[in-house]
Amino acid sequence: MAPLPFDSGLSAAGGPPWPRGSALLTNSLLNKGTAFTERERDALGLRGLLPPRVFTLEEQVSRVLGNLRRKESPLEKYIFLTTLQNRNETLFYRLMQDYAEEMIPLIYTPTVGQACLEYGAIFRRPRGLFISIRERGRIAEVLRHWPVTDVRMIVVTDGERILGLGDLGALGMGIPVGKLALYTACAGLHPAYGLPITLDVGTDNASLRADPSYLGLPHARVRGTAYDDFINEFVAAVREVFPRALLQWEDFGNTNAFRLLQENRPRLCSFNDDIQGTAAVAVAGLLAALRETAGNLADQRLLFLGAGEAGTGIADLYVAAACSEGMPEAAARARCWFVDSEGLVVRNRPGRPLAHHKLPYAHDHAPLRTLAEAVEAITPTVLIGVSGQPSTFTPAILRRMAELNPRPVVFALSNPTSQAECTAEAAYVETQGRVLFASGSPFPPVTLGGRTYTPGQGNNVYIFPGVGFGALACGAREITDAMFLAAARRLAALVTSEDLALGRIYPALTRIREVSLELAIAVVAEARKDGLSTIALPADPRAELTARRFEAVYREYV
């Protein structure tokens, strides 16, 4: 096992003298299971505690892969993998790295959505910290209960908006756990550095509150001043207990997500993946698609279904990208249109006042009620779904997009698969294969007219591991929107002509470690340019960052 990525010397899992006997076998970061050698078994008091045959890591991977593939449902596979992670993290991450295309959809989207829904039923062993509103005044004490004292990456949620599934309260813990697994598998962050946290302030999901097996606080969400004071204490406690940690806000509701990000960016190195990560992966997909359409950013008309944190985050980054190419900001914003639950977002729309984050994209136009009407009026070149409303990109809308554009761009980004605005098959069939399509969750290849199309997965896994790893590696004081734009441009550049020929506007997941490294290098360069880097790295940091990555190989104990 490699040393920790940002320090030399011993791993946070511990060094000599190693735990012995059963204590070693129950330490998931140190356990090798049947791969402990004869010498190690004698030296570490393991003789008799393991079956006699010694296996290699490769042999163990083959065995667990066979066992995994015999499971009948994705949820059963998820449970198997999380149990493996709790027993032997090196073996777990080796499996993740060697079979990324198969494992990532199981450990994260789309399977993690079902896992969160079932989290109370499948709960086996706590992983991470549950900090409830009852711990007000003691949050720093609770953080110190975590066994690793030098946490560098925290993923935190309050469970209010889990994927497209809504308020799942404490059951949302599957999201931080899954995201941190991807940090290690995709970017090489040492697993000892990660801390998943769920902040439990209650839930407005009445069915959960009535469920006797629900794991969280069975009362309505605490809001207002009490909520803000709780969050402020949490941020202060993180700064006190884990001063070198980067914090990733995850799946907070729209009423809190934007303001928590803006209020805390100056206080704590942090970002919101739903706003900034989703934006970067979508803009990267658009930049790659423009290589096929021979278009440019200034000529696009973007129509969003969904005006929450993901949609406006994408629009904001599109505006930044267009402005960097010489387009005035007002003109760039005028290219972005939104449809929310009440229709087209326009100025002076009757009904409720527009939320603050929608105001920059409220243009002068007559109110329209439906997405179909908006498509007719706006004639978009790009249609982006971030609504969590399944099947809203109807066959008629998809056909109309194909009538308006020789190569329509359609992104159905809502997760999990059950919430996608349309399927890949519908997108290709209704546009006669001319669509440039991406989805948030994976869809199988589609064969049409003798050609097979491989849809791209516009998933944040392409962005956040590399961005976070790069920011940690250079000690970035802040994670800026410019870093996410640099990551988006680098991701788009990594899409090959072979990818585009398959209909894919993102690299294959088999390349995810390469992709994350390249994005980390881009983030380091941007941090240096803006004077935000605090750790000296070589002028060309590629070899340094490669050497700092966690590799899923066993250490030698004797």
Is residue 66 one of the residues assigned to a domain? no
Active site residue 108: yes
Catalytic residue among 32, 77, 179, 358: 179
Task: Give the tens place of pLDDT for each residue, 191-207.
Answer: 999 999 999 999 999 99
* 377 class by beta-carbon count within 10 Å (0-12 exposed, 13-18 middle, 19+ buried): middle
Domain with 155 in it: what CATH number?
3.40.50.10380
Give the residue numbers spanning the domain of 151. Answer: 106-268
Write down how long the chain is: 558
Is residue 443 one of the residues assigned to a domain? yes
Is residue 3 one of the residues assigned to a domain? no
Choose among 320, 307, 309, 199: nearest CA to 258. 309
Residues 400 and 481 in one domain: yes
> Can you give the pLDDT of all 558 residues of the chain as single tens digits?
333 444 433 344 455 678 999 999 999 999 999 999 999 999 999 999 999 999 999 999 999 999 999 999 999 999 999 999 999 999 999 999 999 999 999 999 999 999 999 998 898 888 999 999 999 999 999 999 999 999 999 999 999 999 889 999 999 999 999 999 999 999 999 999 999 999 999 999 999 999 999 999 999 999 999 999 999 999 999 999 999 999 999 999 988 999 999 999 989 999 999 999 999 999 999 999 999 999 999 999 999 999 999 999 999 999 999 999 999 999 999 999 999 999 999 998 998 899 889 999 999 999 999 999 999 999 999 999 999 999 999 999 999 999 999 999 999 999 888 899 999 999 999 999 999 999 998 999 999 999 999 998 999 999 999 999 999 999 999 999 999 999 999 999 999 999 999 999 999 999 999 999 999 999 999 999 999 999 999 999 999 999 999 999 999 999
Residues 287 and 366 in one domain: yes
Residues 283 and 264 in one domain: no
Is residue 11 one of the residues assigned to a domain? no
Q: DSSP of 420-450, one letter per residue?
A: -SS-HHHHHHHTTT--EEEESS----EEETT
Is residue 389 one of the residues assigned to a domain? yes
Secondary structure (3-state) at 190? coil
Residues 405 and 290 in one domain: yes
Secondary structure (3-state) at 244? coil
Tally the domains of the chain.
2
Domain with 440 in it: what CATH number?
3.40.50.720
For the chain, what percent of residues have pLDDT higher than 90? Answer: 91
Only one residue has tokens 């007719």, namely 376
Task: Give the tens place of pLDDT for each residue, 350-385.
Answer: 988 998 899 999 999 999 999 999 999 999 999 999
Cα Rg of the chain (Å, integer): 24
What are phi and psi for residue 443, nearest 5 degrees? Answer: -125, 150
Residues 208 and 338 in one domain: no
Residues 536 and 403 in one domain: yes
Residues 259 and 321 in one domain: no
Active site residue 179: yes
The pTM assigned to this predicted structure is 0.94
Catalytic residue among 108, 214, 361, 428: 108
